[in-house]
Amino acid sequence: MAEHHDQHSITYKTYLMTWLWLLVLTGLALGLGYANIDERLKAFLLVCTTLAKILVIAAVFMHLRYERINLILITFAPLILAVILFSFTFPETLGSATHLIRVR
C-alpha cells in the first residue's frame, strides 16, 4: 500500500512536469507562428511541435504508455488515415482547382 501511495505522489509531480513541458512547446509553436521563415519550413516545424504535444498528452495524461500495444496502435489509425486523406487531396490544390473558390 505504501508503495502504491509513493507511485501516486510521483505521478502528481510527473503531471506537473508534463504541464510545464506542454507550456514550453506551446511557447515554441507561438514563436514559430510569428517567425519570419519559409512557409514550408514553418509548416514542417509546426507539425513537429504539434506531434510532440499530442504524443506527450496521449502518453502521460491519457496513460497510453501504460496500455497494451494493440490499444496504442489503434489510436494511431486516425492519424494515418488523415495523412492518406491529406496526401490525396492536397496535391489537387496545385493544379487547376482554383475555380472552386469564389473571391469576394
Partner 1 sequence: MDSTVAEQQRILASDWGGGKSPFGTSWSKFMMWIFIISDALTFAAFLITYGFMRGISPEWPKQTEVFNMVLITFMTFMLISSSAVMAMAVAAARASNPKLAVRFLALTIVGGLIFLGCQAFEWTHFIEEGATLTHNPWGVPQFAASFFVITGFHGFHVFSGVTILAIVALRAAMGKYSADGVENAGLYWHFVDVVWVFVFAFFYLL
Question: Is the alpha carbon torsion for 35, 80, 78, 60 positive or negative?
Answer: negative
63: region left, alpha or beta (phi > 0 left; psi from -120 to 50 alpha): left
List the one residue out of 65, 66, 32 whose CA is nearest residue 48: 32
How many whole angstroms separate alpha carbon 70 and alpha carbon 55?
A: 16
Binding mask 22-61 for partner 1 (x = CB under 8 A): xx--x--xx-xxx-------xx--xx-xx--xx--xx-xx
How many residues touch partner 1 (CB under 8 A)?
57
Minimum separation from the CB atom of position 26 to partner 1 (A): 6
**Where on the chain is the footprint of partner 1 (CB under 8 A)?**
4-5, 8, 11-12, 15-16, 18-19, 22-23, 26, 29-30, 32-34, 42-43, 46-47, 49-50, 53-54, 57-58, 60-63, 67-71, 74-75, 77-79, 81-82, 85-86, 89-90, 92-94, 97-98, 100-104
